[in-house]
Structures are given as structure tokens and as C-alpha cells.
Structure 1
Amino acid sequence: MKEHYDFSKMKGKKNPYLKYLKQPVTMRIDCDSVEYFKSLTEETGIPYQTLINLYLRDCAINHRKLQMQWSSQT
């Protein structure tokens, strides 16, 4: 292998797969939710992280919003 390569004449290309890359994030998810997706893993054979990602992607594509009301305490 050469010790030095001349990249000055190369034409740069933007990575065409850049928009398909996943961004690593840290989330705190309750145990019941994780167990639910893990149980789906046993049924489908799809890793639970992938199932969570697919569910969130579906929500984003379909513009689903959480309908939630907090109960007032008296």
C-alpha cells in the first residue's frame, strides 16, 4: 500500500445514503413499554429497537399526535 495518496484531483461526491442513516439517541423508556416491544420481537422476529423505530416513523409519517388530558387533583 502506498504511504501517500493524492486526493487533490478527486471529485467529491455527497453520500447518497446520508438521508437514510440513523441518528443514535438516548431515551428513557418505561419498563412496560420496552417489555411490550420485546414481546412483539418474539412474535415477529424483528429486534425491539427496530420495532420502536418503525412505530415512531409511522407516527411521524402520518402526523399522529398524542391525545392526552391531565386530570386535575382537588
Structure 2
Amino acid sequence: MRVEYNFTGGVHGKHCKAMQSGYTITIHNVDGTTVVKDVMPRDGAVILNPDIQEYFPDSESVNRALRCLIPLLSKKYRAKSRKA
């Protein structure tokens, strides 16, 4: 971000809930027309809360952490989750 941008008073994660349920973008064209686009999270998308994002800045870091947890799950739980 450029130094001249002022983000004082901004709230980190303010739009997290909207992202989870989808949102609408309205594009105002120069010729006066508007285009409305509904945006929904892709299937399988996982939205991290802001406090978690501090520790997991990208998909790879999340996947790495989850792969470390998988062996700790009981065999019974892992078998159930594969069937679902």
C-alpha cells in the first residue's frame, strides 16, 4: 500500500461475514450503465477469521498445519470423515 493511504479507524476483518455468505458488486460504467455481479465463495472455500489470518497468511501454511493435525485424530474419527 502507498504511504498516502490512510487506514486509521479501519476495522480488520470487517467484511468477513459478508464474504462467507456471498456479496454483490455493482459496476458503474462511464456510459451510465451498471452491471451487477453476485459473488459467492467457491465450493470448498474456507474463510479464516482475522485473528487466525495473522498466523496463516496463505493456503499453503493452512494446509501444512492441518496435515500436522491429521495424524493426531483418532482412527475412528478419520474413518467417519472419509465416509461423509
Same fold (TM over 0.5): no
Instruction: Give the TM-score normalised by structure 2.
Output: 0.30
Select the structure that is richer in strand. Answer: 2
From the CA coordinates, give the structure whose radius of gyration is larger.
1
Instruction: Give the TM-score normalised by structure 1.
Output: 0.33
